[in-house]
């Protein structure tokens, strides 16, 4: 829910303690960043458990599971009310003025006082501390379109140069829709010349391509994009900007295929795309790409870029002694 914290629903996990310890070990080994894990029936109690795991790493191993009523009460008696997640400084002053100094005191207060002084947000927090789940997980809303557009580092005029860049943009957009488990059925492609060039007419052209079936396969989407690009490309012009937009999505899980196989996406592409995405996720050098893609996803002016002295053997400083 923030830059350095997140909530996970472990309701289906049979061994939450082992899961938390394994997660802590993986993050530490892969990133070198120490983390603490708190597991409890509600979000507010999970924050309390996390504080305990962080405060007492030698006793908890960095992971604390609040799975009994005894642990819940003991933790709330230990925690100061101003340290309760969501209380805030102003509410802490109100509570202390009312004689509430520990989290357990707040959890046992009358709901009428909490509602009157802390509104329904305070009521939800109080119920969470009492083990009643009120702050639910909110699913991230899926995007309705994905666009990848770039201004080129120089003007391109040949078909191969333009196609290479547009195919690269398409592959990036296709990976995005697969990440949110969507399928697209419409594509828009555009080309644009240099508007600031006096020697050539300013021109912007676009085309919409309607797919005969919904798909998330890079191979299939690229074919449709290239067919649309051919309709707007003019060989006598020099282009400075291009882009691809994928839209009209359907959920992959609820997609209704057509009756005839030739009217559907190639089913063999799904496994292939999943394998490519998995490999590219852990690759810092581009991973697997189409032959028609550019070797670099982004082309930028980097003539004055500083050397990578600690990460690239070719940029290590050399000192000569005489």
- Classified as helix, coil or strand, 94 is helix
Cβ(195)–Cβ(263) below 8 Å: no
310: which 2 tokens?
């600690």
Cβ(277)–Cβ(178) below 8 Å: yes
* pLDDT at 302 > cutoff 70: no
Lowest-pLDDT range of 47-61, 119-133, 215-229, 292-306? 292-306
Cβ(16)–Cβ(23) below 8 Å: no
Please name which of 175, 185, 187 lies closest in space to residue 274, comparing C-alpha atoms.
175
CA distances from 117 to 87, 108, 121, 133, 254 (A): 12, 15, 10, 21, 45
Cβ(75)–Cβ(64) below 8 Å: no
Domains defined along the chain, listed by start: 16-129 (no CATH), 145-281 (3.30.1490.100)
Q: What pLDDT, on a 0 to 100 scale, did the predictor assign at position 258?
A: 76
112: which 2 tokens?
């009428």
Q: How far apart are CA 276 and CA 46, in angstroms?
A: 36
Q: How far apart are CA 92 and CA 252, in angstroms?
A: 47
- Per residue in 94-151, pLDDT (tens digit) is 999 999 999 999 999 999 999 999 999 999 999 999 999 998 876 678 899 999 999 9
Angle between helix 159-179 and 218-232 (nearest 10): 140
Work out the average pLDDT over 234-259: 89
293: which 2 tokens?
């893609």
* pLDDT at 188 > cutoff 60: yes
Q: How far, in whole angstroms, is CA 3 from its chain's centroid?
A: 12
Q: How far apart are CA 265 and CA 217, in angstroms?
A: 8
Angle between helix 111-129 and 88-97 (nearest 10): 120
Cβ(214)–Cβ(184) below 8 Å: yes
Report DSSP letters for 204-215, one per residue. Answer: EEEEEEEEEEEE
Q: How far apart are CA 242 and CA 149, in angstroms?
A: 6
**Overall pTM > 0.75:** no
Please name which of 42, 53, 51 lies closest in space to residue 20, comparing C-alpha atoms.
53
Cβ(152)–Cβ(193) below 8 Å: no
Q: State the average pLDDT for the chain.
A: 90
Q: How far apart are CA 63 and CA 69, in angstroms?
A: 18
Q: What pLDDT, on a 0 to 100 scale, did the predictor assign at position 297?
A: 60
Q: What pLDDT, on a 0 to 100 scale, did the predictor assign at position 51?
A: 96
Q: What pLDDT, on a 0 to 100 scale, did the predictor assign at position 220?
A: 96
Rg (CA), the chain: 28
- Per residue in 17-75, pLDDT (tens digit) is 999 999 999 999 988 889 999 999 999 999 999 999 999 999 999 999 999 999 999 99
- Partners of 157 in beta bridges: none
Which segments of the chain does DSSP mark as H helices, in order? 16-31, 43-55, 57-60, 69-78, 88-97, 103-107, 111-129, 159-179, 218-232, 268-281
Q: How many residues appear in the chain?
A: 322
What DSSP character marks residue 62?
T
């Amino acid at each position: 829910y923030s830059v350095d914290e997140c909530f996970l629903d472990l309701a289906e996990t049979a061994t939450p303690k082992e899961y938390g310890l394994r997660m802590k070990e993986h993050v530490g080994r892969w990133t070198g960043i120490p983390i603490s894990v708190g597991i409890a029936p509600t979000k507010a109690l999970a924050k309390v458990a996390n504080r305990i795991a962080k405060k007492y790493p030698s006793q908890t191993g960095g992971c604390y599971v609040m799975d009994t009523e005894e642990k819940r009460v003991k933790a709330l008696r230990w925690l100061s009310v101003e340290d309760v997640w969501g209380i805030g400084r102003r509410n802490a002053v109100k509570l202390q003025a009312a004689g509430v100094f520990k989290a357990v005191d707040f959890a046992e207060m009358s709901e009428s006082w909490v509602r009157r002084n802390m509104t329904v947000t305070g009521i939800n927090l109080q119920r969470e501390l009492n083990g009643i789940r009120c702050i639910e997980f909110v699913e991230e809303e899926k995007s309705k379109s994905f666009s990848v557009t770039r201004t080129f580092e120089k003007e391109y005029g040949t078909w191969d140069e333009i196609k290479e860049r547009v195919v690269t943009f398409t592959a990036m957009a296709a990976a995005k829709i697969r990440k949110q488990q969507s399928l697209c059925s419409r594509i828009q492609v555009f080309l644009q010349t240099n508007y600031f060039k006096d020697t050539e007419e300013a021109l912007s052209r676009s085309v919409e391509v309607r797919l005969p079936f919904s798909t998330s396969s890079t191979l299939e989407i690229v074919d449709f994009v290239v067919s649309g690009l051919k309709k707007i490309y003019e060989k006598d012009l020099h282009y400075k900007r291009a882009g691809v937009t994928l839209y009209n999505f359907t959920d992959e899980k609820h997609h209704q295929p057509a009756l005839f196989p030739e009217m559907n996406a190639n089913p063999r592409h799904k496994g292939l795309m999943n394998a490519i995405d998995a490999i590219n996720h852990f690759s810092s050098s581009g991973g697997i790409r189409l032959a028609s893609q550019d070797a670099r996803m982004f082309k930028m002016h980097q003539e004055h870029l500083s050397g990578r002295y600690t990460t690239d053997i070719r940029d290590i400083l050399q000192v000569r002694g005489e």
